[in-house]
Amino acid sequence: MDKIRVMMVREGRTSALRREITSPGEAFQYIKQAIKPVGLDRECFWRIDLDSRNGVLGWELVSMGTLNASLVHPREVFTGALLNKAAGIIIAHNHPSGETNPSPEDKDTTRRLCKAGEILGVALQDHLVIGNGKYFSFKETGLL
């Protein structure tokens, strides 16, 4: 009988980055410090895993896409969060154009991930769209 081994790799778990995130601005600062998305030439999609007190458990680059799209599926977004025993997640992606307004696809993805998180018991706490040193927060604008 074959054995299967599941292992969680934490890309960003360092004591310097271990802290609580209590606002969209803090999430943006964390992402800037942890993954330095400035100057990326394609869309990338990240997830920050949080414990029940909004302490950062780790983060993961979930998807790297093309100039204007990044493939995102709930299965890939939540796999690492579940393995990390996250109580909540913050997701973020960049727009290489620098425009931070969310596209209709961004809004649809957020709705799908929010529903999936409700089913799994892992709350989607925010979705940030990053560009040119600025961010758009779905939470701050009432879209989440």
Q: Residue 109's domain spans which residues?
A: 24-137
For residue 58, which of 35, 26, 74 has the smallest C-alpha distance? 35
The verdict on residue 9 lying in a domain is no
Q: According to the model, what pLDDT value does residue 133 have?
A: 87
Contacts of 112 (CB under 8 A, 6+ apart): 74
The verdict on residue 44 lying in a domain is yes
pLDDT digits (tens, 9 = 90+) for 81-95: 999 999 999 999 999
AA letter at 64: M
d(CA 46, CA 58): 11
Q: What is the CATH number of the domain that holds 47?
A: 3.40.140.10
> What dihedral do alpha carbons 28, 142, 103, 111 form, nearest 10°?
100
DSSP state of 20: B
Q: According to the model, what pLDDT value does residue 14 have?
A: 46
Q: What is the pTM of this model?
A: 0.83
The verdict on residue 79 lying in a domain is yes
Give the chain's domain count.
1
